Structure 1
Amino acid sequence: MEQFFHDPFAGRGALERWFGDFSSSRFQPRIDVVDEGKVLRVTAELPGLEREDLKVSVEDGAIVLRGEKKQDVRREENGCYWLERAHGSFMRTIPMPENADPDHTLAKFDNGVLTLTVPKSEPVQTVSRTIDIG
Structure 2
Amino acid sequence: MIKFFGVGEDDNMLELDEEIDTKELVSEDIGQLALDVLETDYEIVILSPIAGVDLHDIDLSFSKSVLIIKGARKRPDIFESDVIVRNSECYWGAFIRNIILPENLDFDSIEATMENNLLIITIKKLQFSSQSIKINRTI
Contact 2:75/2:93 (8 A) holds in 1: no
> Aligned pairs, how many?
104
2-structure distance, mates of 1:110, 1:50: 12
Determine helix, strand or coil for the equivalent of 2:41. coil
Runs of 4+ in 1 over 3 A off after TM superposition: 123-130
Contact 2:111/2:123 (8 A) holds in 1: yes
TM-score (norm 2): 0.61
Structure with a larger share of its residues in strand: 1
2-structure distance, mates of 1:91, 1:101: 23
In 2 relative to 1, CA 36–99 (structure 1 residues): closer, same or farther, beyond 3 Å? same
Q: Where does the alignment leave 5 or more consecutive residues of structure 2 unmatched?
A: 1-28, 86-90
Q: Counterparts of 1:81-96 in structure 2 under 5 Å?
A: 81-82=82-83, 87-96=92-101
In 2 relative to 1, CA 129–55 (structure 1 residues): closer, same or farther, beyond 3 Å? same
- Whichever of the two has the greater Rg, that structure is 1
The one of 53, 58, 61 equivalent to 2:62 is 58
Kindly indicate whether residue 116 of structure 2 is the aligned counterpart of residue 111 of structure 1. Answer: yes
In 2 relative to 1, CA 93–71 (structure 1 residues): closer, same or farther, beyond 3 Å? same
Contact 2:33/2:48 (8 A) holds in 1: yes
CA RMSD of aligned residues (A): 2.9
Contact 2:50/2:117 (8 A) holds in 1: yes
Contact 1:99/1:123 (8 A) holds in 2: no
In 2 relative to 1, CA 101–83 (structure 1 residues): closer, same or farther, beyond 3 Å? farther
The one of 74, 80, 90 equivalent to 2:78 is 74
In 2 relative to 1, CA 38–92 (structure 1 residues): closer, same or farther, beyond 3 Å? same
**Share of identical aligned residues, percent?**
22
2-structure distance, mates of 1:61, 1:116: 15
